[in-house]
Structure 1
Amino acid sequence: MSNLKNKTIFLTGASSGIGKATALSLLDLGANVFDFSRQRQLADELTHENLRSFRGDVSVEADVQNGFSACLEAFGTVDILLNNAGIGSVSPDLSTIDLDTFEEMVNVNMRGVFLCNREALKVMKPKGEGHIVTVISMAGQRTNPNAPLYCASKFGARGLSSGLADQAIKMGIRVTDINPGPTDSDYWGDRQVPREKFLKVDDVARVIVFVLDQPKEVLIREINFDSMKFLA
Protein backbone atom coordinates (compact mmCIF):
# COMPACT_ATOMS: atom_id res chain seq x y z
CA MET A 1 0.00 0.00 0.00
CA SER A 2 1.23 3.50 -0.80
CA ASN A 3 2.30 5.74 2.08
CA LEU A 4 0.26 8.45 0.35
CA LYS A 5 -3.14 6.84 0.85
CA ASN A 6 -5.40 9.28 2.73
CA LYS A 7 -2.62 11.88 2.95
CA THR A 8 -3.59 15.44 2.06
CA ILE A 9 -1.40 17.26 -0.46
CA PHE A 10 -1.68 21.01 -0.98
CA LEU A 11 -0.52 21.29 -4.60
CA THR A 12 0.08 24.59 -6.36
CA GLY A 13 -0.24 24.79 -10.13
CA ALA A 14 -2.08 21.52 -10.74
CA SER A 15 -4.07 22.78 -13.72
CA SER A 16 -1.59 21.63 -16.38
CA GLY A 17 1.84 20.16 -17.08
CA ILE A 18 3.85 18.64 -14.25
CA GLY A 19 1.28 19.62 -11.63
CA LYS A 20 -1.62 17.98 -13.44
CA ALA A 21 0.32 14.78 -14.15
CA THR A 22 1.38 14.59 -10.50
CA ALA A 23 -2.14 15.27 -9.21
CA LEU A 24 -3.58 12.44 -11.30
CA SER A 25 -0.93 10.02 -10.01
CA LEU A 26 -1.57 11.06 -6.41
CA LEU A 27 -5.31 10.56 -6.77
CA ASP A 28 -4.69 7.09 -8.19
CA LEU A 29 -2.73 6.28 -5.01
CA GLY A 30 -5.60 7.33 -2.78
CA ALA A 31 -4.28 10.73 -1.68
CA ASN A 32 -6.40 13.81 -1.11
CA VAL A 33 -5.34 16.55 -3.52
CA PHE A 34 -6.06 20.23 -2.96
CA ASP A 35 -5.38 22.05 -6.23
CA PHE A 36 -4.43 25.71 -5.72
CA SER A 37 -4.14 27.37 -9.14
CA ARG A 38 -4.73 30.83 -10.55
CA GLN A 39 -5.90 29.68 -13.97
CA ARG A 40 -8.17 26.81 -14.94
CA GLN A 41 -9.00 24.31 -12.23
CA LEU A 42 -8.37 20.58 -12.39
CA ALA A 43 -11.79 19.99 -10.83
CA ASP A 44 -13.36 21.66 -13.88
CA GLU A 45 -12.44 18.63 -15.98
CA LEU A 46 -12.15 15.85 -13.41
CA THR A 47 -14.69 14.72 -10.83
CA HIS A 48 -13.05 12.87 -7.96
CA GLU A 49 -14.13 12.59 -4.34
CA ASN A 50 -10.56 13.22 -3.15
CA LEU A 51 -10.00 16.37 -5.23
CA ARG A 52 -10.77 19.96 -4.36
CA SER A 53 -9.76 23.09 -6.28
CA PHE A 54 -9.29 26.69 -5.20
CA ARG A 55 -8.59 29.65 -7.46
CA GLY A 56 -5.78 31.77 -6.12
CA ASP A 57 -2.38 33.35 -6.78
CA VAL A 58 0.59 32.05 -4.77
CA SER A 59 2.09 35.55 -4.71
CA VAL A 60 -0.97 37.05 -2.96
CA GLU A 61 -0.85 36.61 0.81
CA ALA A 62 -4.61 36.63 1.34
CA ASP A 63 -5.14 34.07 -1.45
CA VAL A 64 -2.64 31.68 0.11
CA GLN A 65 -4.12 32.09 3.58
CA ASN A 66 -7.63 31.54 2.25
CA GLY A 67 -6.47 28.54 0.26
CA PHE A 68 -5.01 26.83 3.30
CA SER A 69 -8.16 27.58 5.28
CA ALA A 70 -10.23 25.99 2.52
CA CYS A 71 -7.95 22.94 2.47
CA LEU A 72 -8.28 22.51 6.23
CA GLU A 73 -12.04 22.82 5.95
CA ALA A 74 -12.16 20.22 3.18
CA PHE A 75 -9.69 17.65 4.49
CA GLY A 76 -8.86 18.63 8.07
CA THR A 77 -5.11 18.93 7.66
CA VAL A 78 -2.15 19.39 5.29
CA ASP A 79 0.34 16.53 5.33
CA ILE A 80 2.37 17.60 2.30
CA LEU A 81 2.91 20.93 0.59
CA LEU A 82 3.98 20.56 -3.02
CA ASN A 83 5.18 23.91 -4.38
CA ASN A 84 4.87 23.44 -8.12
CA ALA A 85 3.53 26.75 -9.45
CA GLY A 86 6.06 28.79 -11.41
CA ILE A 87 6.51 31.07 -14.37
CA GLY A 88 9.41 31.85 -16.64
CA SER A 89 10.45 33.78 -19.71
CA VAL A 90 13.59 34.45 -21.68
CA SER A 91 15.64 37.59 -21.07
CA PRO A 92 18.65 37.44 -23.43
CA ASP A 93 19.15 41.21 -23.18
CA LEU A 94 18.66 42.35 -19.60
CA SER A 95 18.72 46.01 -20.65
CA THR A 96 15.34 45.55 -22.34
CA ILE A 97 13.52 43.95 -19.39
CA ASP A 98 10.98 46.07 -17.54
CA LEU A 99 10.59 46.03 -13.76
CA ASP A 100 7.12 44.45 -13.91
CA THR A 101 8.55 41.36 -15.63
CA PHE A 102 11.24 41.00 -12.99
CA GLU A 103 8.82 41.48 -10.11
CA GLU A 104 6.24 39.02 -11.44
CA MET A 105 8.84 36.28 -11.82
CA VAL A 106 10.28 36.82 -8.36
CA ASN A 107 6.83 37.13 -6.81
CA VAL A 108 5.60 33.80 -8.18
CA ASN A 109 8.82 31.77 -8.02
CA MET A 110 10.14 33.03 -4.67
CA ARG A 111 7.49 34.99 -2.77
CA GLY A 112 4.92 32.32 -3.55
CA VAL A 113 7.13 29.58 -2.15
CA PHE A 114 7.70 31.61 1.01
CA LEU A 115 3.99 32.31 1.54
CA CYS A 116 2.97 28.69 1.03
CA ASN A 117 5.82 27.37 3.19
CA ARG A 118 4.83 29.71 6.01
CA GLU A 119 1.20 28.58 6.00
CA ALA A 120 2.17 24.91 5.77
CA LEU A 121 4.48 25.25 8.77
CA LYS A 122 1.62 26.64 10.85
CA VAL A 123 -0.23 23.37 10.26
CA MET A 124 2.73 20.99 10.46
CA LYS A 125 4.61 22.33 13.49
CA PRO A 126 1.92 21.42 16.05
CA LYS A 127 1.81 17.88 14.61
CA GLY A 128 5.60 17.52 14.65
CA GLU A 129 5.62 16.10 11.13
CA GLY A 130 5.01 16.99 7.50
CA HIS A 131 6.76 17.30 4.17
CA ILE A 132 7.43 20.46 2.17
CA VAL A 133 8.51 19.76 -1.40
CA THR A 134 9.43 22.40 -3.96
CA VAL A 135 9.77 21.77 -7.68
CA ILE A 136 12.59 24.17 -8.46
CA SER A 137 14.56 23.31 -11.63
CA MET A 138 18.11 22.65 -12.68
CA ALA A 139 17.99 26.38 -13.53
CA GLY A 140 18.44 26.85 -9.79
CA GLN A 141 21.87 25.26 -10.08
CA ARG A 142 23.23 26.28 -13.45
CA THR A 143 22.93 29.62 -15.17
CA ASN A 144 21.56 30.29 -18.63
CA PRO A 145 22.57 33.42 -20.59
CA ASN A 146 19.10 33.52 -22.16
CA ALA A 147 17.22 33.46 -18.86
CA PRO A 148 19.13 35.20 -16.04
CA LEU A 149 15.93 36.39 -14.34
CA TYR A 150 14.43 32.91 -14.30
CA CYS A 151 17.67 31.46 -12.95
CA ALA A 152 17.86 34.15 -10.28
CA SER A 153 14.34 33.39 -9.08
CA LYS A 154 15.10 29.66 -8.96
CA PHE A 155 18.46 30.16 -7.21
CA GLY A 156 16.55 32.21 -4.64
CA ALA A 157 13.88 29.54 -4.18
CA ARG A 158 16.60 26.93 -3.69
CA GLY A 159 18.31 29.06 -1.05
CA LEU A 160 15.02 29.58 0.79
CA SER A 161 14.24 25.88 0.71
CA SER A 162 17.72 24.82 1.79
CA GLY A 163 17.68 27.19 4.73
CA LEU A 164 14.23 26.01 5.76
CA ALA A 165 15.37 22.39 5.64
CA ASP A 166 17.93 23.06 8.36
CA GLN A 167 15.24 24.63 10.55
CA ALA A 168 12.46 22.18 9.84
CA ILE A 169 14.33 18.97 10.56
CA LYS A 170 14.32 19.91 14.24
CA MET A 171 10.52 20.16 14.03
CA GLY A 172 10.16 16.69 12.48
CA ILE A 173 9.33 18.24 9.11
CA ARG A 174 11.06 17.11 5.93
CA VAL A 175 12.02 19.55 3.16
CA THR A 176 12.93 18.40 -0.35
CA ASP A 177 13.99 20.17 -3.55
CA ILE A 178 13.13 18.54 -6.87
CA ASN A 179 15.21 19.81 -9.79
CA PRO A 180 14.19 18.55 -13.24
CA GLY A 181 15.99 19.60 -16.37
CA PRO A 182 14.07 21.04 -19.35
CA THR A 183 10.61 19.49 -19.54
CA ASP A 184 8.18 19.34 -22.46
CA SER A 185 5.24 21.37 -21.13
CA ASP A 186 3.13 24.45 -21.84
CA TYR A 187 5.84 26.51 -20.14
CA TRP A 188 7.67 26.83 -23.47
CA GLY A 189 4.74 28.25 -25.44
CA ASP A 190 5.76 28.77 -29.07
CA ARG A 191 9.47 29.17 -28.35
CA GLN A 192 11.71 27.28 -30.74
CA VAL A 193 13.35 24.70 -28.47
CA PRO A 194 14.04 20.95 -29.00
CA ARG A 195 11.11 19.74 -26.91
CA GLU A 196 11.41 16.24 -28.35
CA LYS A 197 14.66 15.88 -26.35
CA PHE A 198 13.20 17.12 -23.07
CA LEU A 199 11.83 15.22 -20.11
CA LYS A 200 8.10 14.47 -20.30
CA VAL A 201 5.74 15.68 -17.60
CA ASP A 202 4.97 12.07 -16.66
CA ASP A 203 8.70 11.46 -16.12
CA VAL A 204 8.84 14.33 -13.64
CA ALA A 205 5.59 13.27 -11.97
CA ARG A 206 7.02 9.80 -11.33
CA VAL A 207 10.05 11.29 -9.59
CA ILE A 208 7.87 13.58 -7.48
CA VAL A 209 5.59 10.74 -6.41
CA PHE A 210 8.63 8.60 -5.56
CA VAL A 211 9.87 11.33 -3.21
CA LEU A 212 6.47 11.93 -1.64
CA ASP A 213 5.82 8.22 -1.12
CA GLN A 214 8.85 7.64 1.10
CA PRO A 215 8.15 6.76 4.75
CA LYS A 216 8.46 9.67 7.16
CA GLU A 217 11.77 8.33 8.47
CA VAL A 218 13.37 8.85 5.03
CA LEU A 219 14.58 12.31 4.04
CA ILE A 220 15.59 13.10 0.47
CA ARG A 221 17.06 16.58 0.64
CA GLU A 222 17.47 17.13 -3.11
CA ILE A 223 17.02 15.21 -6.31
CA ASN A 224 18.44 16.34 -9.69
CA PHE A 225 17.65 14.74 -13.03
CA ASP A 226 17.80 15.41 -16.77
CA SER A 227 16.83 13.84 -20.05
CA MET A 228 19.55 11.65 -21.55
CA LYS A 229 18.51 12.84 -25.03
CA PHE A 230 18.95 16.48 -23.98
CA LEU A 231 22.41 15.91 -22.50
CA ALA A 232 23.72 13.75 -25.36
Structure 2
Amino acid sequence: MSYLANKIVFITGASSGIGKATALMLLEAGAKVFDFSRTHQLADELSHPNLRSFKGNVGNETDVIAGFAACVEAFGGVDVLLNNAGIGVLTTDLSSTELDTFEQMFDVNVKGVFLCNREALKIMKPQKAGHILTVISMAGQRTNPNAPVYCASKFGARGLSSGLADQAIKLGIKVTDINPGPTDSNYWGDRQVPREKFLKVEDVARVIVFVLNQPDYVLIREINFDNMKFLIP
Protein backbone atom coordinates (compact mmCIF):
# COMPACT_ATOMS: atom_id res chain seq x y z
CA MET A 1 0.00 0.00 0.00
CA SER A 2 1.32 3.47 -0.88
CA TYR A 3 0.66 6.38 1.45
CA LEU A 4 2.14 8.78 -1.09
CA ALA A 5 -0.67 8.97 -3.62
CA ASN A 6 -1.79 12.61 -4.00
CA LYS A 7 0.50 13.82 -1.19
CA ILE A 8 1.72 17.35 -1.90
CA VAL A 9 5.50 17.45 -1.45
CA PHE A 10 7.44 20.74 -1.47
CA ILE A 11 11.10 20.00 -2.26
CA THR A 12 13.94 22.50 -2.19
CA GLY A 13 16.61 21.82 -4.78
CA ALA A 14 14.70 19.16 -6.72
CA SER A 15 16.38 19.99 -10.02
CA SER A 16 19.44 17.80 -9.45
CA GLY A 17 21.11 15.23 -7.21
CA ILE A 18 19.22 13.81 -4.24
CA GLY A 19 16.31 16.19 -4.76
CA LYS A 20 15.79 15.18 -8.37
CA ALA A 21 16.08 11.46 -7.65
CA THR A 22 13.54 11.81 -4.84
CA ALA A 23 11.16 13.89 -6.94
CA LEU A 24 11.14 11.28 -9.71
CA MET A 25 10.43 8.46 -7.26
CA LEU A 26 7.63 10.45 -5.61
CA LEU A 27 6.01 11.25 -8.95
CA GLU A 28 6.12 7.56 -9.83
CA ALA A 29 4.41 6.80 -6.51
CA GLY A 30 1.58 9.22 -7.32
CA ALA A 31 2.63 12.21 -5.25
CA LYS A 32 2.37 15.84 -6.34
CA VAL A 33 5.79 17.49 -6.39
CA PHE A 34 6.59 21.19 -6.12
CA ASP A 35 10.22 21.93 -7.01
CA PHE A 36 11.69 25.07 -5.42
CA SER A 37 15.14 25.56 -6.98
CA ARG A 38 17.49 28.48 -7.40
CA THR A 39 18.64 27.88 -10.98
CA HIS A 40 17.49 25.07 -13.26
CA GLN A 41 13.92 23.82 -12.73
CA LEU A 42 12.94 20.17 -13.05
CA ALA A 43 9.84 21.12 -15.04
CA ASP A 44 12.15 22.44 -17.79
CA GLU A 45 13.18 18.88 -18.64
CA LEU A 46 10.19 16.86 -17.48
CA SER A 47 6.55 17.36 -18.33
CA HIS A 48 4.29 15.77 -15.72
CA PRO A 49 0.78 16.74 -14.58
CA ASN A 50 1.81 16.39 -10.92
CA LEU A 51 4.95 18.52 -11.18
CA ARG A 52 5.36 22.27 -10.73
CA SER A 53 8.55 24.31 -10.43
CA PHE A 54 9.36 27.71 -8.92
CA LYS A 55 12.61 29.65 -9.17
CA GLY A 56 13.78 30.92 -5.81
CA ASN A 57 16.54 31.05 -3.21
CA VAL A 58 15.88 29.34 0.13
CA GLY A 59 17.93 32.01 1.89
CA ASN A 60 15.65 34.78 0.60
CA GLU A 61 12.56 35.32 2.75
CA THR A 62 10.52 36.90 -0.06
CA ASP A 63 11.27 34.00 -2.41
CA VAL A 64 10.33 31.37 0.18
CA ILE A 65 7.03 33.05 1.07
CA ALA A 66 6.17 33.36 -2.64
CA GLY A 67 7.17 29.75 -3.28
CA PHE A 68 4.85 28.32 -0.66
CA ALA A 69 2.02 30.56 -1.86
CA ALA A 70 2.58 29.26 -5.39
CA CYS A 71 2.48 25.66 -4.16
CA VAL A 72 -0.81 26.26 -2.36
CA GLU A 73 -2.21 27.91 -5.48
CA ALA A 74 -1.07 25.05 -7.71
CA PHE A 75 -1.97 22.05 -5.55
CA GLY A 76 -4.14 23.36 -2.71
CA GLY A 77 -1.73 22.91 0.19
CA VAL A 78 1.46 21.31 1.47
CA ASP A 79 1.55 17.88 3.13
CA VAL A 80 5.31 17.37 3.14
CA LEU A 81 8.35 19.65 3.16
CA LEU A 82 11.67 18.16 2.11
CA ASN A 83 14.53 20.51 2.97
CA ASN A 84 17.07 19.22 0.48
CA ALA A 85 18.89 22.30 -0.84
CA GLY A 86 22.40 22.59 0.56
CA ILE A 87 25.80 24.08 -0.17
CA GLY A 88 29.26 23.02 0.94
CA VAL A 89 32.64 24.69 0.50
CA LEU A 90 35.99 23.41 1.76
CA THR A 91 37.50 25.52 4.55
CA THR A 92 40.77 23.67 5.10
CA ASP A 93 42.39 26.78 6.58
CA LEU A 94 39.95 28.59 8.83
CA SER A 95 42.37 31.49 9.30
CA SER A 96 42.01 32.42 5.62
CA THR A 97 38.29 31.70 5.24
CA GLU A 98 36.27 34.69 4.01
CA LEU A 99 33.15 35.76 5.91
CA ASP A 100 31.21 35.50 2.65
CA THR A 101 31.99 31.76 2.51
CA PHE A 102 30.64 31.31 6.03
CA GLU A 103 27.51 33.33 5.29
CA GLN A 104 26.77 31.47 2.04
CA MET A 105 26.68 28.11 3.80
CA PHE A 106 24.66 29.33 6.76
CA ASP A 107 22.20 31.19 4.50
CA VAL A 108 21.29 27.97 2.69
CA ASN A 109 21.94 25.24 5.24
CA VAL A 110 20.47 26.92 8.32
CA LYS A 111 18.56 30.09 7.41
CA GLY A 112 16.98 28.37 4.40
CA VAL A 113 15.79 25.48 6.54
CA PHE A 114 14.38 27.90 9.12
CA LEU A 115 12.47 29.93 6.51
CA CYS A 116 11.02 26.87 4.80
CA ASN A 117 10.09 25.23 8.09
CA ARG A 118 8.34 28.41 9.22
CA GLU A 119 6.25 28.74 6.07
CA ALA A 120 5.40 25.03 6.00
CA LEU A 121 4.25 25.18 9.62
CA LYS A 122 1.86 28.03 8.83
CA ILE A 123 0.11 25.66 6.43
CA MET A 124 0.43 22.45 8.46
CA LYS A 125 -0.66 23.74 11.87
CA PRO A 126 -4.31 24.35 10.86
CA GLN A 127 -4.31 20.91 9.21
CA LYS A 128 -2.93 19.34 12.42
CA ALA A 129 -0.91 17.13 10.11
CA GLY A 130 2.19 17.24 7.98
CA HIS A 131 5.75 15.98 7.70
CA ILE A 132 8.98 17.99 7.59
CA LEU A 133 12.15 16.20 6.51
CA THR A 134 15.62 17.70 6.33
CA VAL A 135 18.57 16.21 4.49
CA ILE A 136 21.28 17.05 7.00
CA SER A 137 24.03 14.41 6.46
CA MET A 138 26.41 12.70 8.84
CA ALA A 139 28.41 15.95 8.78
CA GLY A 140 25.87 17.11 11.35
CA GLN A 141 27.16 14.45 13.75
CA ARG A 142 30.84 13.99 12.99
CA THR A 143 33.28 16.78 12.22
CA ASN A 144 35.68 17.03 9.31
CA PRO A 145 38.95 19.01 9.49
CA ASN A 146 38.58 19.98 5.84
CA ALA A 147 35.11 21.47 6.25
CA PRO A 148 34.54 22.87 9.75
CA VAL A 149 32.16 25.62 8.60
CA TYR A 150 30.06 23.18 6.57
CA CYS A 151 29.90 20.86 9.59
CA ALA A 152 28.92 23.79 11.81
CA SER A 153 26.05 24.65 9.47
CA LYS A 154 24.87 21.04 9.50
CA PHE A 155 25.12 20.86 13.30
CA GLY A 156 22.99 24.00 13.33
CA ALA A 157 20.40 22.50 11.01
CA ARG A 158 20.26 19.39 13.17
CA GLY A 159 19.70 21.45 16.31
CA LEU A 160 16.95 23.44 14.61
CA SER A 161 15.26 20.26 13.41
CA SER A 162 15.52 18.53 16.77
CA GLY A 163 14.00 21.47 18.60
CA LEU A 164 11.22 21.71 16.03
CA ALA A 165 10.45 18.02 16.43
CA ASP A 166 9.70 18.56 20.12
CA GLN A 167 7.29 21.38 19.25
CA ALA A 168 5.68 19.78 16.22
CA ILE A 169 4.75 16.43 17.70
CA LYS A 170 2.15 18.18 19.86
CA LEU A 171 0.61 19.57 16.65
CA GLY A 172 0.39 16.23 14.87
CA ILE A 173 3.32 17.14 12.59
CA LYS A 174 6.19 14.71 12.07
CA VAL A 175 9.83 15.81 11.77
CA THR A 176 12.58 13.58 10.41
CA ASP A 177 16.33 14.05 9.90
CA ILE A 178 17.88 12.27 6.91
CA ASN A 179 21.60 11.78 7.55
CA PRO A 180 23.45 10.12 4.66
CA GLY A 181 27.20 9.69 4.61
CA PRO A 182 29.20 10.96 1.60
CA THR A 183 27.03 10.82 -1.51
CA ASP A 184 28.12 10.87 -5.15
CA SER A 185 26.56 14.14 -6.28
CA ASN A 186 27.48 17.53 -7.78
CA TYR A 187 28.44 18.65 -4.28
CA TRP A 188 31.97 17.32 -4.85
CA GLY A 189 32.61 19.14 -8.13
CA ASP A 190 36.03 18.26 -9.53
CA ARG A 191 37.50 17.19 -6.20
CA GLN A 192 39.48 13.95 -6.21
CA VAL A 193 37.38 11.81 -3.87
CA PRO A 194 36.65 8.04 -3.78
CA ARG A 195 33.21 8.23 -5.38
CA GLU A 196 33.10 4.43 -5.72
CA LYS A 197 32.83 4.29 -1.90
CA PHE A 198 30.03 6.84 -1.70
CA LEU A 199 26.27 6.39 -1.60
CA LYS A 200 24.35 7.07 -4.81
CA VAL A 201 21.69 9.78 -4.90
CA GLU A 202 19.13 7.05 -5.59
CA ASP A 203 20.13 5.33 -2.32
CA VAL A 204 19.28 8.47 -0.37
CA ALA A 205 16.07 8.99 -2.34
CA ARG A 206 14.89 5.47 -1.51
CA VAL A 207 15.41 6.14 2.19
CA ILE A 208 13.39 9.36 1.98
CA VAL A 209 10.57 7.62 0.11
CA PHE A 210 10.63 4.79 2.68
CA VAL A 211 10.16 7.29 5.51
CA LEU A 212 7.34 9.09 3.70
CA ASN A 213 5.60 5.84 2.85
CA GLN A 214 4.94 4.99 6.51
CA PRO A 215 1.45 5.26 8.05
CA ASP A 216 0.61 8.58 9.68
CA TYR A 217 1.07 7.13 13.16
CA VAL A 218 4.65 5.96 12.50
CA LEU A 219 7.28 8.55 13.44
CA ILE A 220 10.90 8.10 12.36
CA ARG A 221 12.90 10.85 14.02
CA GLU A 222 16.27 10.20 12.41
CA ILE A 223 17.98 7.87 9.94
CA ASN A 224 21.77 7.58 9.73
CA PHE A 225 23.35 5.58 6.91
CA ASP A 226 26.60 5.15 4.99
CA ASN A 227 28.10 3.06 2.24
CA MET A 228 29.84 0.20 4.04
CA LYS A 229 32.81 0.52 1.66
CA PHE A 230 33.40 4.05 2.95
CA LEU A 231 33.59 2.85 6.56
CA ILE A 232 36.09 0.05 5.91
CA PRO A 233 39.70 1.31 6.21
Fold agreement, TM-score > 0.5: yes
> Does residue 143 of structure 1 match 2:155?
no
User: 1:196 matched to which residue of 2?
Assistant: 196
CA distance in 2, matches of 1:212, 1:184: 23
How far residue 142 of structure 1 moved from its aligned partner, in angstroms, is 0.2
User: 1:218 matched to which residue of 2?
Assistant: 218
Which secondary structure state, in structure 2, belongs to the residue aligned with residue 11 of structure 1?
strand
How far residue 39 of structure 1 moved from its aligned partner, in angstroms, is 1.2
How far residue 47 of structure 1 moved from its aligned partner, in angstroms, is 0.2
CA distance in 1, matches of 2:154, 2:50: 31
Q: Alpha-carbon deviations, 1:163-212, whole Å to 9, x = none?
A: 00000000000000000000000110001110111000011100010011
CA distance in 1, matches of 2:37, 2:12: 6
User: 1:56 matched to which residue of 2?
Assistant: 56
User: 1:159 matched to which residue of 2?
Assistant: 159
Which secondary structure state, in structure 1, belongs to the residue aligned with residue 193 of structure 2?
coil
Q: Alpha-carbon deviations, 1:116-174, whole Å to 9, x = none?
A: 00000000000101000000000000000000000000000000000000000000000
Amino acid of the residue matched to residue 179 of structure 1? N
How far residue 33 of structure 1 moved from its aligned partner, in angstroms, is 0.1
CA distance in 1, matches of 2:123, 2:213: 20
How far residue 89 of structure 1 moved from its aligned partner, in angstroms, is 1.1
CA distance in 2, matches of 1:114, 1:2: 29
CA distance in 2, matches of 1:129, 1:177: 18
Identity of aligned residues (%): 78
Q: Superposition pairs for residues 1-20 of structure 1, below 5 Å? A: 1-20=1-20
Amino acid of the residue matched to residue 160 of structure 1? L
User: 1:86 matched to which residue of 2?
Assistant: 86
User: 2:108 matched to which residue of 1?
Assistant: 108
User: 2:128 matched to which residue of 1?
Assistant: 128
Which secondary structure state, in structure 1, belongs to the residue aligned with residue 14 of structure 2?
coil
Q: Over the residues paired in the alignment, what is the CA RMSD in angstroms?
A: 0.4
Q: Alpha-carbon deviations, 1:52-91, whole Å to 9, x = none?
A: 0000000000000000000000000100000000000111
Which secondary structure state, in structure 1, belongs to the residue aligned with residue 11 of structure 2?
strand
Unaligned runs of 5+ in 1: none
User: 2:181 matched to which residue of 1?
Assistant: 181
How far residue 99 of structure 1 moved from its aligned partner, in angstroms, is 0.5
Unaligned runs of 5+ in 2: none
CA distance in 1, matches of 2:161, 2:82: 12
Amino acid of the residue matched to residue 109 of structure 1? N
Amino acid of the residue matched to residue 9 of structure 2? I
Aligned residues: 232
How far residue 215 of structure 1 moved from its aligned partner, in angstroms, is 0.9
Amino acid of the residue matched to residue 162 of structure 1? S
Which secondary structure state, in structure 1, belongs to the residue aligned with residue 125 of structure 2?
helix
TM-score by length of 2: 0.99
User: 2:26 matched to which residue of 1?
Assistant: 26
Amino acid of the residue matched to residue 7 of structure 2? K
CA distance in 2, matches of 1:188, 1:39: 18
Amino acid of the residue matched to residue 199 of structure 1? L
CA distance in 2, matches of 1:54, 1:3: 25
List 4+ stretches of structure 1 deviating above 3 A: none
